[in-house]
Chain A
Amino acid sequence: MAKDSKLILDPLTDNNPITIQVLGICSALAITAELEASIVMSISVLFVMGVGNVVISLMRNIIPSKIRIIAQLIVVATLVIIVDQVLKAYAYELSKTLGAFVGLIITNCIIMGRFEAFALGNGPWRSFLDGIGNALGYAIILIIVGFFRELLGSGTLLGIEILGDPVAKTGLYAYGYENNGFMLLSPMALIVVGIIIWVQRSRNKALIED
């Protein structure tokens, strides 16, 4: 259905949770120094949002509206703990890099925002699509930022040395190239996100607010 596909496609472009709604910025700045961390974070959020939206949507008629935030928190917390335990079991090194940020998925504004704005008022299938769409919108930005930060900051991608060996001076490093240490610091992540926002809005003038 055309309407359903909009649920997935919109958050990828013109209603992107990071670049348009400017939500979920903290984790986008904190963990994108490496592409691998960005991808794992994206998958975690994808899982939490997809399942969380369905669960909230199924329970939407029995949650009293006065305590709905607590009910939402419990759902997210449960899912995040599952993700955290799985990461610790199968990717221990990575879960150490991500550190508190897996736990902090609970406070990711995108998730609570979609629960409130969408899952509480829509059926499970549409909520599922909405969750997946927004998580993918989040993931696409994380992966773009992670790609540039790791490539320019460490000269690697997913840990593989793309530009040569900085110590042995091979590849680009033989010509005097050096890694940009600023890329590894969080301010540069903010600037990269800013540049993405800039490019997106200058391509689509309708997105520019006053």
Chain B
Amino acid sequence: MSLKNKLHNIKEKYKGKKMAPAFNALHTFLYLPNETTHGGTHVKAADDLKRTMNIVIIALVPCLIFGIFNAGYQHYLATGAIEASNGFLGGTFWTFDNLIHGAWKVLPLVIVSYGVGLAVEFLFAVIKGHEVEEGYLVTGMLVPLIVPVDIPLWMLAVAVIFGVVIGKEVFGGTGMNILNPALTIRAFLFFAYPTWMSGDKVWVSEAVERAGTADAISGETLLGAYAQNNTLPGVDVWDMFWGLIPGSIGETSKFLIIIGALFLIFTKIGSWRIMLSTVIGALVMGLIFNGVVDAGWISDSSKFYGLMSVPFWQHLIIGSVLFGAVYMATDPVTAAQTNKGKWIYGFLIGFISIMIRVFNPAYPEGVFLAILLMNVFAPTIDHYVIQGNVKKRMKRLKVKTA
């Protein structure tokens, strides 16, 4: 008897029992369930929720692998153990040392994120007697990618519990949530433990422990530096594009994010409208700020000068606008549903992200706040798009009948 049949038999045995949802979750993760829909003709498609989620995870894996190497690379680079890597395939980046150090730091985050999050999901499923939903598969992967590498594990665990319960379960679970759960988790961390989520120490592994000692290293991101009218030495535009810069674990490599985006668009999982309009929104806001600088309305002593004078297209590669646009804003549950609504939703995400980035130097990364804000407004946008359409059709009807 094959494993598949064995699992089906166990399922029959436990049907109606309290632990059934927990078992079914594992079962359907591996195989299609053995039950078929009853009566009538149905649309036949293999892409159920689990398959959809798995494709997003596949798109995220390159970012995770890169993030692991980058965690090690940034650490050894800052301590002076290695030379700066020359481009994406540079000799000092894809090394075994970087992998070991990065994996030692990053994999625990992944394990805590999945372990705690799935435990909460299973608990709710067993209490409420519904099937375990797949929503956490992607969230659990996103969470380690959007936190600083040195975040203490217990903080991550607390935040995951908060995010899954308050961000999702109280609204009724997967598909009913208003806010993106991964971003809820990040927002919780950001407001609860700001010293671990921002500043100039947390972005390079072990920079916090070394602070104040003779071995102190800088753990600043580019955005943090720009916000204080500085730049980081030895970082050029290509480093930003390939991702050889400090930042949250998975968001640095714009190159891999673009590949992930193409993969999602090709498989029709992610909405290209949202991705494109977010980028356009960010560029427009960047252009406006560049215009303000060129017109000489602010002097270079202004605290906004550093970020305002960044060439508009560089906003896309110094922070996490792209990561947010590709993996966060496109979340089908929390995004706008109508096509026109998607354009408005995405545009405002990009626009507001750059605005927060420039105007609030205390929070140099505004992308997650912008996406959460637009998550809240997405139903309103959809409402007006639909009402507008209804009006247009009513008008057409009148013209015809008149």
- The chain A residues found within 8 Å of chain B, CB to CB, are 176-178, 180-183, 185, 187, 191, 194, 198
Question: B100 to nearest A CB, angstroms?
Answer: 24
Within 8 A of A (CB), among B186-238: 188, 191-196
Number of inter-chain CB pairs below 8 Å? 25
Q: Is the interface of A mostly helix, strand, loop or mixed?
A: helix
Chain B residue nearest in CB terms to A191: B166
Contact (Cβ within 8 A) A185 B154: no
Pick the contact of B192: A176, A180, A194, A198 (CB < 8 A): A180
Give Cα A194 to B152, complex, Å: 28
Give Cα A180 to B154, complex, Å: 12
**Given contact pairs A191-B166, A198-B170, A181 touches B192 in the complex (Cβ within 8 A):** yes
A-B contact pairs, 23 of them (CB 8 A): A176-B152, A176-B154, A177-B154, A178-B152, A178-B155, A178-B193, A178-B195, A178-B196, A180-B158, A180-B192, A181-B191, A181-B192, A181-B193, A181-B194, A182-B188, A182-B191, A183-B192, A185-B191, A187-B191, A191-B166, A194-B166, A194-B170, A198-B170
Q: Write out the residue numbers on chain A whose beta carbons fall within 8 Å of the beta carbon of B195.
A: 178
Contact (Cβ within 8 A) B192 A182: yes
Give Cα A181 to B158, complex, Å: 13
Question: B151 to nearest A CB, angstroms?
Answer: 11
Q: Write out the residue numbers on chain B whose beta carbons fall within 8 Å of the beta carbon of A177.
A: 154
Chain B residue nearest in CB terms to A175: B154
Give Cα A177 to B158, complex, Å: 12
Question: A12 to nearest B CB, angstroms?
Answer: 25
Give Cα A47 to B194, complex, Å: 40
Q: Write out the residue numbers on chain A whose beta carbons fall within 8 Å of the beta carbon of B166.
A: 191, 194
- The chain B residues found within 8 Å of chain A, CB to CB, are 152, 154-155, 158, 166, 170, 188, 191-196
Q: Write out the residue numbers on chain B whose beta carbons fall within 8 Å of the beta carbon of A176.
A: 152, 154
Question: B338 to nearest A CB, angstroms?
Answer: 28
Q: Write out the residue numbers on chain B whose beta carbons fall within 8 Å of the beta carbon of A187.
A: 191
Give Cα A78 to B220, complex, Å: 56
Query: Which residue of A176, A180, A183, A187 has the most chain B CB atoms within 10 A of its CB atom?
Result: A180
Question: A208 to nearest B CB, angstroms?
Answer: 14
Q: Write out the residue numbers on chain A whose beta carbons fall within 8 Å of the beta carbon of B155.
A: 178
Give Cα A186 to B188, complex, Å: 13
Chain A residue nearest in CB terms to B127: A202
Give Cα A176 to B195, complex, Å: 13
Q: Write out the residue numbers on chain B whose beta carbons fall within 8 Å of the beta carbon of A181.
A: 191-194
Q: Write out the residue numbers on chain A whose beta carbons fall within 8 Å of the beta carbon of B158.
A: 180
Chain A residue nearest in CB terms to B188: A182
Apart from the given pairs A180-B158, A180-B192, A194-B170, 15 other A-B contacts in the complex at a CB distance below 8 Å: A176-B152, A176-B154, A178-B155, A178-B193, A178-B195, A180-B193, A181-B191, A181-B193, A181-B194, A182-B188, A182-B191, A185-B191, A187-B191, A194-B166, A198-B170
